[in-house]
Amino acid sequence: MGNPVAFIEDGEHRPSPERRSTATASWTNSAQQKLDHNGQRNVCAADGHPGTAEDSLVKATDGFRVHLSDTTNPSSGYYGQQQAG
């Protein structure tokens, strides 16, 4: 199967396309990992507000955690970008 992690220009690591297509777990980018380690795991990367029971956080396709409503609102930049799994 090739390299499971592909290096991209900005220094961030992402699963290679072949790895992403077979993986069932979602992935988190390095910037989100830094937020997580800084105690901001339940903070939306898009607006800085915490996730709630009514509007929980999900992982977007770019590896950031955002509110579920960000992925379902057509006027949001994260519309339709929720990771599967």
Six-digit token string for 39: 């105690």
Confidence (pLDDT) at 26: 77
Looking at the chain, the whole-number percentage of residues with pLDDT higher than 70 is: 69
The 3-class SS string of 13-76 reads EEECHHHHHHCCCCCCCHHHHHHHHCCCCCECCCCCCECCCCCCEEEECCCCEEEHHHHHCCCC
Does the pLDDT at position 21 exceed 90?
A: no
* Local confidence band at 22 (pLDDT 50, 70, 90 cut-offs): very low
